[in-house]
Amino acid sequence: MMEKFWRKDGDGVHQTITQGSQKLALFLNPETPTQLRPLTVVLHGPAGIGKTTLAKKVMLDWTRDSLAKILSPAFYLSCKELNRKGTCTFAELISKNTPDAQEARPEARAPAQKLLFVVDGFDELRVPSGSLIHDICSDWNMRKPAPVLLGSLLKRQLSPQATLLVTTRPEALPELRHLLDQPLLVEVEGLSEPDRKASILKHFEDEGQALRALALMQSHPGLWRLGAAPAVCGLLCACLKLQLEHGEDPATTCRTATALLLHFLCGQFTPASGSRPCPAPLQAACLLAAGGMWARTSVFDAEDLAALGLTEAALRPFLDAEVLQKDVDSVGCYSFVHLSIQQFLTAVFYILEDDGEGARGRLGGDIRDARELLSKEERLKNPGLAHVARFLFGLANERMAGELETTFGCRVTTGVAQELLKSEPFWTMDLSEVMRCLHESQEELLVRDAMDHVTEVSLRVKTRMDLVHSSFCLRHCQNLQKILLQVEKGIFLESDTALESDAPVERSQQDHHALCLWTDLCSVFRSNKNLSFLDVGQSFLSHSSVRILCEQITHVTCHLQKVVIKNVSPADAYGDFCLAFVGKKTLTHLTLEGSVHSDKMLLLLCETLKHSQCNLQYLRLGPCSNIPQQWDDFSLALKINQSLKYLDLTASELLDAGVKLLCATLRHPKCFLQRLSLENCHLTGACCKELSSALIVNQSLTHLCLAKNNLGDSGVKLLCEGLSYSECQLQTLVLWCCNITRRGCKHISKLLQGDSSLTHLDLGFNPIATGLWFLCEALKKPNCNLKYLGLCGCSITSLYSRDLASTLTSNQRLETLDLGQNIFGKNGIIVLFEALKQNNSPLKTLRLKMDGSSVEMQMLLEEVKDSNPTLTIDCEDSRTTRSSYCDFFSSML
C-alpha cells in the first residue's frame, strides 16, 4: 500500500507537516482500535525531505492529552546514536529520554498496544547487510549489541503489539522490508508546489528578486524537485539571494546542482580583502566528507575525526560558516548542513591536487579510488555514490574549478572526469545516468568526445530532467544514427484543451517549460545529418508536443529514413505524423501501430504515397479496422506510388471483403508490391480464390504471409491451384496456424512436385502430423525447389522420424528444417541423427526440441558435427508461437 502526503496547500513547513501528521492520525493514534490501524508504518523519502520532523510530530500527537486517560508512551531511537552505542539491554536502550523505563517495562504501566517506538534514520545504521536477521533477542534484560536489539524490535520479538514508526531513505527500503511484517509504506514528498512557492518568496525581502528566483527554479526541473526538501529549498534560496544582491545573473548557476552548491559554498568563505585564502580547512572538510561517504554515515564523533587525523580546530571555519554543524540528535557529534553538501565535498576531495600534505594523500582505508564511484556493486550498497560521481563531472568544468581555486587557494585537477570516461564501468551504467553525469559538466568538448562513438540511444523520458539531460548530450552526439524514444505519462498535459479549462497556473507553466525542453530535444532531428532512424513507442504526448516533433521532421535538413510510431497518444497524433511525411523524400520505411487509426490518418497517408517525391519502400499498418472503408483511396495510392515494395497489414480487420478489394489492386499492372503480410486479418478460405487469381496475374509479389487465418484445407486447395501456374512468382508462403490438416498436405504435396517457384514454406502450428508422409514424398522429388520448411509445433512424434530421415538423405535442396516444439523422444532423435551423419544432405540448419544437456545427447551431437561440420543444430527451441520465416519483413528494419 502506498500513500502520498503533503499535497494540500499550507502555510510554510509547519503547516505542511501538520497536515501530513493529521492524515497519519487515522492509523497512528493510540485511541484507534488496533484492528483498524497497521502496527508498522515506514516513512520514506530523500534526505532533508522532513521525515524526522514528521515522525517527532507524530510522537507529540501520540502522547498529547494521554495523561488524563490511559498512558500512551512513545520512545525515540536514533540510528545515528545506535551506531555509537555498545552492548546494553533493551530497557537501557530506551531509557535515555525516559529514565523510568529502565525500572519497569512500559507494558507494566500501559497496554502494549498503546506503545509507540520511533526508529529514525534506518539508512544510517552501520551494520553488515543481512546481519539484523540472524541474531534475535526477546528478553528486555538481556545484554546485546544495540543493532541486534533494534533488529529484534523490528522483528517484533521485544514488543509484539507495539506500534512501530520507521523513517528511512528509499535506498534502504529493500533491507528494511526483510525485517518488517506487512508495513504501510508512506512516501514523504516534502513541500507541495504551492508551499514551495510560498517558502521561496518568504526568503526574499525584495519582491522583484523573489519572483526572479521563483521563475528560475520553476524553469529548471532539477532545482524545482530539490526544493521539495525544506532544508535544500532554504539553501538554494540563500545562494540565489546572494547572487541577486550582488547584481549577478544566476541563470548560469541554476543549470546544475554542482554550480549552485559551489556558489553557495564559496559564498560562505569569501576571503577578506588583501588576505590569502588557506586551503587546509577545505582539505579537512573534504576528507571528513569522503570518509563518511564511504563509511555510509553523515554523523561524525570525536573518534571518527581522530581516525581521519582531524581535529575540531581544523574544521573550525566550516563550523563557523555552519556548513558543518553540531548534530541535533547526537551529543558531541557533527554533520554537514545537508547530505548533498557532504556528497559535493566528497567530489572535491577527488580533484584536490596532492602536494604531499593534502587530503588525497590519505586515500586508502575506507576511502576508495574514484573509479569505485561507478561500481555497480558499490552503488547498490551505497546509492549516494551516484551523486558524488555527478558532482565530480560537474567539477570538470574549467570555470567552476577556477572558482574553487580562487576561493580556497587550493589547486585542483579537472582530469579525473576524463579518466572516468575512459573506464569500463562508466559505459556499463544506464544511459540516463551517463547523460546526467555529462550534463552536469556543461563542458561541450568533453561531452562531444564522450558521445563520439554513440550511434544508437534508447531514451525513456520519465521526468523533465530526462529531457534536459538528453537534449544537452544528443546535441553533441554527431554520429548518432538511431533514437528509440518512450515518453511516460505526466510529462505533458494530456491535451491542449486542458489549458483552457480549470488547469492550475503552475501546471500550465510546467507544461510550457516541458515543451521548451522537448523542442531542444527534437531539434536534434534537424541538426544531425547522420540521424536516420526514429522509433517512438508507448508514449503519452500532447497535441503541442506532436506538433513540435513534426515541425522538426518536416525540416529540409532532417534526413530520417526509417520511422516507427507505435502505441502513441493522443490518437490524432498519427494523422499529424502522416501529414509531416508528405513529400519527405528521404523516408523509406514507415510503421504506424496502435489501437486507433482515423479516416483522416489514412487519407493523409494516401497523400504521402501519391506524392511525386515519395520514396517509401516499407509500410506497416496495424491493427487497423477501417482499411476496407478507405480502400478506394488506398488502392489508388498504391497504383500511383512506384516505390512501395513491402506492405504489412498484420492484425488489421481486413476480412474476406477487404481481401477482394486488395486483390483487385494486386492485379493492376502498376502494382509493384513484392512482399505482403495479411497475418491475423480475420480471413477464411473463401478469400483464397481471389488471392489465387491475383497471384497468377501479379508478376512482382514474391512473399505472402497468411498466418493466423482460418483458411482450412479448402482454402489451401485454392491457393495451390494459383501457385501451380508458371506465371506465379511467389517464393515464400507462410501458413502457420491456418487450421491445415492431412487433406491440405495432399494439395501442398502436389504443388511441390510440380513446376512451382516456391522455395520457402512455413506450416508451423497446424495439426498435419498424419499428412507429413505426403510432404516427405514431395521433398524426395528432384524437381522440388523448397529450401526452407517450417514444421514447428505440428504434433509430430517419433512415429514419423523414419519418413523425415528418409527425406533428409534423398533431398538435394532443403537447407533449413524447423522441427521445434515437436516431441520426438530419444529414439526419434537417434533415427534423425543417423540420417544426418551420412553427409549427403544440403541441410545447413535443423531446429529440434531435445535435451541437449544430457551426456548421451551431447555425444550424438558431437558425432553429427564431426560427420557433417556445415550443419547447425539448434536445440534451444525457445520459440513457442512463430517460425523464423513468419516475419519476413524483419530484415527491413
Residue 1 has pLDDT above 80, yes or no: no
pLDDT of residue 82: 85
Residue 104 banded pLDDT, cuts 50, 70, 90: very low
Q: How far is CA 43 from CA 46, 56, 77, in A?
A: 10, 12, 15
Dihedral sign (CA 779, 785, 791, 794)? negative
Average pLDDT, the chain: 84
pLDDT at 609: 94
Domain boundary, last residue among 450, 468, 492: 450
**Is 526 within the bounds of a domain?**
no
Q: Is the pLDDT of residue 566 over 90?
A: yes
- pLDDT tens column, 437-472: 999 999 999 999 999 999 999 999 998 899 999 999
CA distances in angstroms from 492 to 220, 436, 462, 514, 517, listed in the order given: 16, 21, 11, 7, 11
pLDDT at 716 exceeding the cut of 80:
yes
pLDDT at 749 exceeding the cut of 80 = yes
How far is Cα 787 from Cα 789, in angstroms, rounded to an integer?
7
Backbone angles phi, psi at 499, to 5 degrees: -70, -25
Residue 667 falls within a domain, yes or no? no
Is 694:729 a contact under the CB 8 Å cutoff?
no
Interstrand relation of 40-44 and 163-168 (parallel, antiparallel or unpaired): parallel
Among 231-235, 684-688, 886-890, name the most confident range. 684-688
Considering the domain architecture, whether residues 110 and 250 belong to the same structural domain is answered as: no
What Å distances lie between residue 565 and 150, 448, 569, CA to CA? Answer: 53, 29, 10
287 and 228, same domain (yes or no): no
Instruction: Give me the half-sphere count of Cα atoms (radius 13 Å) on the Cβ side of residue 400.
Output: 29
- pLDDT for residue 435 is more than 90: yes
Q: What pLDDT is recorded for position 37? A: 58
Confidence of residue 298 (pLDDT cuts 50, 70, 90): confident
Of 187, 218, 247, which one is at a domain's C-terminal end?
A: 187
Which single residue is written with the C-alpha cell 547584481?
247
Q: Which of 196, 214, 195, 194 is nearest to 204 (CA)?
A: 214
Say if residue 293 is in the same domain as residue 162: no
Domain annotation covers residue 14: yes
Residue 791 shares a structural domain with residue 871: yes
- Grid cell, residue 553, equals 521532421
Confidence of residue 17 (pLDDT cuts 50, 70, 90): very low
User: How far apart, in whole angstroms, are the C-alpha atoms of residue 581 and residue 190?
Assistant: 46
Question: Is pLDDT above 70 for 15?
Answer: no
Is pLDDT above 70 for 3?
Answer: no
In the structure, what pLDDT confidence band is assigned to residue 115 with cuts at 50, 70 and 90? confident
The amino acid at 857: M
Banded pLDDT at 883 (limits 50, 70, 90): very low
pLDDT of 738 strictly over 90:
yes
138 sits in which H/E element: none
Name the percent of the chain lying above pLDDT 90: 47
Q: Is residue 551 part of a domain?
A: no
Sequence-distant (≥ 6) Cβ neighbours of residue 266 within 8 angstroms: 403, 404, 407, 408
Q: What is the pLDDT of residue 362?
A: 54
- To the nearest 5 percent, what fractions of the chain are helix, strand and coil? 45, 15, 40
Last residue of a domain, one of 450, 478, 505: 450
Q: Do 602 and 631 touch, CB atoms closer than 8 A?
A: no
In a domain, residue 683? The reply is no
Look at residue 65 in the predicted model and tell me its pLDDT: 53
Chain CA centroid to CA 748, Å = 47
Same domain, 243 and 373: no
Residue 364 has pLDDT above 80, yes or no: no
CA atoms within 13 A on the CB side of 156: 16
Band the pLDDT of 852: cuts 50, 70, 90: low
Task: Give pLDDT, residue 32.
Answer: 62
Is residue 251 very low, low, confident or very high in pLDDT (cuts 50, 70, 90)?
confident
Q: Between the ranges 47-51, 58-62, 818-822, where is the mean pLDDT highest?
A: 818-822
- Residue 255 pLDDT exceeds 70: yes
Find the radius of gyration of the CA atoms of the chain: 35
List Cβ neighbours of 636 (8 Å cut-off, separation of 6 or more): 606, 610
Question: Residue 119 pLDDT more than 60?
Answer: yes
Q: What is the pLDDT of residue 597?
A: 63
- pLDDT given at position 161: 85
Question: Percent of the chain scored above 70 by pLDDT?
Answer: 85
Q: For residue range 495-520, list pLDDT tens digits in order.
A: 444 444 444 565 677 788 889 999 99
Q: Is the pLDDT of residue 616 over 60?
A: yes
Distance CA 704, CA 702 (A): 7
DSSP state of 497: G
CATH number of the domain that residue 855 is part of: 3.80.10.10
CB distance 254 to 248 below 8 Å: no
Q: What is the DSSP letter of 851?
A: -
Kindly give, in sequence order, each residue whose CB lies less than 8 Å from that of residue 460, ignoring residues fewer than 6 positions away.
432, 466, 486, 488
Q: What is the pLDDT of residue 278?
A: 79
Q: Would you state the pLDDT for residue 129?
A: 66
Question: Is residue 631 over pLDDT 70?
Answer: yes
* Tens digits of residue pLDDT in 399-429: 999 989 988 989 999 889 999 999 889 988 9
Backbone φ and ψ for 73, nearest 5 degrees, come out as: -70, 150
Average pLDDT over residues 136-146: 87
Residue 570, preceding peptide bond in cis (omega within 30° of 0): yes
How buried is residue 376: exposed, middle or buried, by Cβ count under 10 Å (0-12/13-18/19+)?
exposed
Please tell me the predicted confidence (pLDDT) of residue 608.
94
- 245 versus 475: the higher-pLDDT residue is 475
Question: Residue 570 domain-assigned?
Answer: no
CB 130 within 8 A of CB 177: no
Pairing of strands 618-622, 646-648: parallel
Q: Which position has the higher pLDDT, 795 or 95?
A: 795
Q: Are residues 234 and 301 in the same domain?
A: no
pLDDT score, position 190: 80
Closest residue by Cα to residue 889 from 663, 746, 707, 634: 707
The residue-averaged pLDDT of 37-62 equals 84
Given a cut of 50, whether residue 6 has pLDDT beyond it is no
Residue linked to cell 502436389: 750
Are 29 and 97 contained in the same domain? Answer: yes
pLDDT at 483 over 50: yes
Q: Is residue 557 included in any domain, yes or no?
A: no
CATH code (residue 21): 3.40.50
Is residue 776 domain-shared with residue 877, that is, in the same domain?
yes
- pLDDT, mean of residues 784-798: 95
Shared domain for 157 and 9, answered yes or no, is yes
Domain that holds residue 232: 193-255
Interatomic CA distance for residues 95 and 102, integer angstroms: 6
Integer angstrom CA distances of residue 105 from 10, 108, 111, 157, 258: 40, 6, 11, 14, 50
CA dihedral angle for residue 600, residue 606, residue 607, residue 610, rounded to 10 degrees:
-170
pLDDT at 837: 87
Report how many domains make up the chain: 4
b/e 23-35 (16+ beta carbons within 10 angstroms → b) = bbeebbbbeeeee
pLDDT of residue 845: 94
The reply to whether 806 and 744 lie within a common domain is yes
pLDDT in tens, 604-615: 899 999 999 999
The pLDDT of residue 890: 55
Whole-angstrom distance, CA of residue 773 vs CA of residue 802: 10
Element (H, E) at 591: strand 589-593
Could you tell me how far CA 402 lies from the centroid of its own chain? Answer: 36
What's the CA gap between 41 and 24, in Å, rounded?
9
Q: How many residues does the chain have?
A: 893
Q: How confident is the model at residue 165 (pLDDT cuts 50, 70, 90)?
A: very high
Query: If you average pLDDT over residues 347-361, what whole number do you get?
Result: 71
Within a domain: 508? no
Same domain assignment for residues 367 and 309: yes
| pLDDT confidence of residue 107 | 52
**pLDDT value of position 23:** 56
Question: For residue 59, which of 49, 73, 71 has the smallest C-alpha distance?
Answer: 73
What is the structure's pLDDT at 303? 86
Q: How far apart are CA 177 and CA 147, in angstroms?
A: 16
> Looking at the structure, do residues 444 and 307 belong to the same domain, yes or no?
yes
